[in-house]
Structure 1
Amino acid sequence: MPYAKGSGKSVVIALGGNALGNTPQEQLELVANTAVHIVDMIAEGINVVVSHGNGPQVGMINNAFDYAAAHDGKTPEMPFPECGAMSQGYIGYQLSQAIL
Structure 2
Amino acid sequence: MDKKLMDLLDMALAERFGLASMDMQKENSESDKSIKKLVDMSQEIENHPGIREDARELIREFLLADSENNADLQKYLYIQGAKDCVLILREIGVIK
Q: Could you tell me the TM-score, scaled by structure 1's length? A: 0.30
Q: Which has the higher helix share?
A: 2
Q: Could you tell me the TM-score, scaled by structure 2's length? A: 0.31
**Structure possessing the higher radius of gyration over alpha carbons:** 2
Which of structures 1 and 2 has the larger relative contact order (alpha carbons within 8 angstroms, sep 6+)? 1
